[in-house]
Amino acid sequence: MQEESVFAIGLLLLLLGASLMAAEAHVPSFGALGAGGVAAFAVGIVLLLSAAGSAVIVAVFAGIAVALCGGVLVLLLARKALATRRLRTSNSLIGRVGVARAADTVFVDGALWHARQLGLDDETPLVRGDPIVVEHVNGLTLTVRAAEEWEVLP
């Protein structure tokens, strides 16, 4: 009975570790979720191998190997994520034509951007599908205006 519960706990830790590592790709936690996922995955491997009847030293070394490989991967990914935060957006987007997806979101050059509408006092707010032109770039926020008819023509 004890081996079955160790096996179940090991399997749950594997699933938890895989879920945390997958969440790391979608949530900006800068390695915290990934590190927890690697630790849970490594402990799950140790428990599964020991419940399967392998020697304790083999299970521990397998867990250490998984932890080292996963830790290096999480460290590299976290460094890359932090490096992208320091990148500046180029002003090559100024003058580009895009499409409004919502009042504060636009699609320009194959990417969704946060947007602020230029001259909102005298214009109607942007609605989904309106063509826009980028006027200014401030970090990851674009200042846009409604495109004129001649700017949209092919």
Per-residue pLDDT at 54: 86
Reported as a single tens digit per residue, the pLDDT across 66-116 is 999 998 988 888 888 777 766 665 668 888 899 999 888 999 988 899 998
Of 49, 64, 85, the one marking the end of a domain is: 85
Of 38, 54, 85, the one marking the end of a domain is: 85
Inter-CA distances, 147 with 55, 114, 116, 126, 138, Å:
69, 17, 14, 11, 19
Per-residue pLDDT at 34: 87
Per-residue pLDDT at 98: 92
Task: Give the number of domains in the chain.
Answer: 2
The pLDDT of residue 17 is above 60: yes
Per-residue pLDDT at 88: 62
Verify that 81 and 95 share a domain, yes or no.
Answer: no
More confident residue, 16 or 126: 16
Average pLDDT over residues 120-143: 83
Per-residue pLDDT at 68: 94
Domain limits for position 136: 91-149
Per-residue pLDDT at 90: 60
Confidence band, pLDDT 50/70/90 cuts, at residue 25: confident
* Contact call for residues 40 and 32 (beta carbons, < 8 A): no
Confidence band, pLDDT 50/70/90 cuts, at residue 27: confident
Q: 């320009």: which residue's tokens?
A: 108
Phi-psi region of 5 (alpha: psi -120 to 50; beta: other; left: phi over 0): alpha
Reported as a single tens digit per residue, the pLDDT across 40-56 is 999 999 999 988 888 88
The pLDDT of residue 144 is above 70: yes
Verify that 34 and 79 share a domain, yes or no.
Answer: yes
Pairing of strands 131-138, 97-102: antiparallel
**Residue at 154 is within a domain:** no
**Residue at 113 is within a domain:** yes
